[in-house]
Amino acid sequence: MPTKPTKRSPRVKPGQREEETLRVLISHQRIRERVRHMAEEIRRDFPNEPIHLVGVLKGSVLFLADLARELGGEVSFDFISVSSYGKGMDSTGEVKMNKDLDVSIEGRSVLVVEDILDTGLTLKYLLVLFEERKPKHLRVAVLLDKVERRIADVKADYTGFVIPNEFVVGYGLDYDERYRNLPDVCVVRLGPRGKTKIEA
Ligand code: IMP
């Protein structure tokens, strides 16, 4: 027997908890167009070159998958897992590696693919680590950039969108592992009954 639809309002997003509100910041349509343009820009800089994408798990997965398809030409990819965030919205400020790359990047044209640049501490850590491994080129593509939060002196070579200092989810980004599957990038806010406070 088919399951009965729930009585929640159609504006409630999948996985959304009652104390959380979500507002679309960047629609999937805008993301698709921007990713296409970013891919064109990257290919212009590396016309006939195999590009080795290094995705930073897990937030970059959807962005990397779309970017890889738009890039065309020879593309390979690998993943690294680091964590700088604990549960919720607060950074621990420390970066630690959970999973290293599977293959060497020596002599390759590497494009680090990140979901979001916040303090920049994660990217700084990765760039220091990867430079030591002697890639031919080392470039960075980020979907989102919260410029005003920056602590580390790093910049992306290719940026999708500069966004205000708000906690965002969707298109790979999570809040406590939820919302990664939303097609849009949304701002998440916790209501009065939320257990965690949003940073000022
Ligand atoms: P950074 O080291 O402070 O630049 O943080 C980078 C990582 O923090 C990202 O790869 C995300 O995993 C996480 N992060 C920062 N801001 C947000 C956000 O607004 N939503 C979800 N994750 C975030």
d(Cα 18, Cα 7) in Å, to the nearest integer? 13
What global pTM score does this model have? 0.87
Pocket test for ligand 1, best of 173, 178, 188 (most atoms within 8 A of CB): 173
Point out the ligand 1 atom lying closest to the alpha carbon of residue 124. 2
- Cα–ligand 1 centroid distance for 6 (angstroms): 32
Ligand 1 center–CA 165 separation, angstroms? 11
The answer, yes or no, to whether any atom of ligand 1 lies below 6 A from the CB of 83, is no
Per-residue pLDDT of 159-199, as tens digits, reads: 999 999 999 999 999 999 999 999 999 999 887 654 433 33
E-strand spans in the chain? 20-26, 51-57, 75-85, 91-99, 109-117, 137-145, 158-162, 168-169, 185-190
* Confidence label for 8 from pLDDT (cuts 50, 70 and 90): low
- Looking from the CA of residue 85, the nearest atom of ligand 1 is 8
Closest Cα to atom 9 of ligand 1: 116
Asked if residue 91 has its Cβ within 6 Å of ligand 1, the reply is: yes
Q: According to the model, what pLDDT value does residue 14 have?
A: 73
Cα-to-centroid distance, 38 and ligand 1 (Å): 20
Residue 87 confidence (pLDDT): 46
Is residue 5 predicted with pLDDT exceeding 80? no
Per residue in 54-113, pLDDT (tens digit) is 999 999 999 999 999 999 999 999 999 998 754 456 566 788 999 999 999 999 999 999
Q: Which residues contact 135 (CB under 8 A, 6 or more apart)?
A: 52, 105, 106, 107, 108, 109, 110
pLDDT tens by residue, 104-143: 999 999 999 999 999 999 999 999 999 999 999 999 999 9
Q: What is the largest CA-CA distance in the chain?
A: 59
Q: Which residue has the tokens 């965690």?
A: 196
